[in-house]
Amino acid sequence: MSFDYDLFVIGGGSGGVRAARVAAAGGAKVALAEEDRYGGTCVIRGCVPKKLMVFASEYSGMVEDAQAYGWDIQPGAFDWGAFKGKLEAELDRLEGIYRNLLKNSGVESFDARAKLLDAHTVELSDGSRKSAKHILIATGGRPIVPEFPGSDLAITSNDIFHLEKLPESILIVGGGYIACEFAGIMNGLGVKTTQYYRGAQILRGFDDEARGLVSEEMCQSGIDLHLGTNVIEMTSEGDKIRVKATNGDEALFDQVMYATGRAPNADDLGLEDLGIERGRKGEIVVDKYSQTGMPSVYAIGDVTDRVNLTPVAIREGMAFVETVFNGNPTSPDHDLIPTAIFTQPEMGTVGLSEEEAAKQEPIEVYATSFKPMQQAFAGRAQRVLMKLIVSKASRKVLGCHIVAPGAGEMIQLAGIAVKMGATKEDFDRTVAVHPTMSEELVTMKTPVRTA
């Protein structure tokens, strides 16, 4: 049977674009459909604009620091309009790069929504139909706001980049990394920032000591954080939003942003009619090779709700091409993935938290917390944390957790060592780079506790 394409990809984000390009580079005939902007969540409404906003927000503390170092400079005001214009131009530029990458790889792209009609056919929103030997779903996820009275007044992380003007006050609801990152951003840009989280501590699932420090420093920097708190209802009041909370508080905010969860974009793709299984959260169920129950259909990235990170979606896309087009069955490796959370202070982590490791085997914990030289000299009280979790039996470093400026950069390199199976003695044998914060990772001689 002849098909229009060897591969049809639905979704033009990081995972879909990479899979399409790599398959096409290997000689496959590939098409891709994207209903919105090319680049997906990460490039258009996620990591990239968020990191640029983090950079923008960090300059507020730099003026005071510079003064402490002897610079005669005065604080100015932040111009949201000027920043927003530059941000939008940068995202347009990046989207153009993604479109060109596809074009130059020989991938035919359709600016349309696509859904599956059968095992080898997709229908585009213009009514046309395309057949393909293999179909790859890479439609990603989206932020969701739970239903409650007035929930339609909330914005999500998708909307925050497009605000016409910077609010004077904002309530951020949620305790995951997206909520915490935006609390830091808004606070740094001079917005009066309140954060509600229904749990006992922010950043659930991360190392307790590390998330405790992040939480403490966020409060120190002026974020009004309320734990064990949720919203009951919201009502419009003039151009403000009145919020009633479970802790009895009632307050007015200019904006309320929800970052309490994301859902896979797997609705209205025609999956149900084809008997392709979906999980409890609506994710597409796949095996270790990203294959659905229908042999010709695969899915990668956030729509599969495995590890929802951009570089993971890209890895899954590469493994898919290896498996299907290069005849080399490859399962994406989801073990020991280093991650950075761009909270203020930043956090980097790889491997097991102290709590997870202690459940699994006897461990030693090496940790140190101190004021870094740069901030201490400027009179700022921010603390950093360097922490290693070590197996007593194998001496392997099971986890590394860093809370510090530049933690993301540090964890990338620590991640290589941990992924290689480095032991505590391997770390100890490495000479310190002085004076740096990260040298503490190789100079901790005695455990602070065992478990």
Q: State the Cα–Cα distance between residues 85 and 405, nearest whole angstrom.
A: 27
Rg of the chain, C-alpha, whole Å: 24
Is residue 434 annotated as a catalytic residue, yes or no?
Answer: yes
Contact 312, 47 (CB under 8 A): no
Three-class secondary structure of residue 393 per DSSP? coil
Closest to 25 (Cα-Cα) out of 86, 131, 107, 100: 107
Question: Is the distance from CB of 204 to CB of 176 less than 8 angstroms?
Answer: yes
Q: Which two tokens stand for residue 446?
A: 């005695």
DSSP character string of 311-344? HHHHHHHHHHHHHHTSS-------SS--EEE--S
Angle at alpha carbon of residue 47, lines to 196 and 381, rounded to 5°: 55
Task: Look up residue 313 and give its two tokens.
Answer: 């979606």
Cα–Cα distance measured from residue 370 to residue 384, given in angstroms and rounded to the nearest whole number? 6
Query: Residue-wise over 47-84: b if at least 16 C-beta within 10 A, else e?
Result: bbbbebbbebbbeebeeeeeeeeeeeeeeeebebeebb
Helical residues (DSSP H) of 379-437, grouped into ranges = 407-420, 424-429
In angstroms, the CA 258 to CA 264 distance is 17
Classify each residue of 385-402 as buried b or exposed e, where b means 16 or more C-beta atoms within 10 Å of its C-beta. bbbbbbbeeeebbbbbbb
417 touches 426 (CB < 8 A): yes
Catalytic residue among 134, 162, 226, 434: 434
Decide: 121 and 94 in contact? Cβ < 8 Å. no
Q: Is 446 exposed, middle or buried (0-12, 13-18, 19+ CB in 10 A)?
A: exposed
Q: Could you tell me the two tokens for 32?
A: 């891709």
CA atoms within 13 A on the CB side of 98: 28
Instruction: Give a three-class secondary structure readout of 166-204.
Output: CCCEEEEECCCHHHHHHHHHHHHCCCEEEEEECCCCCCC
Residues with catalytic roles: 434
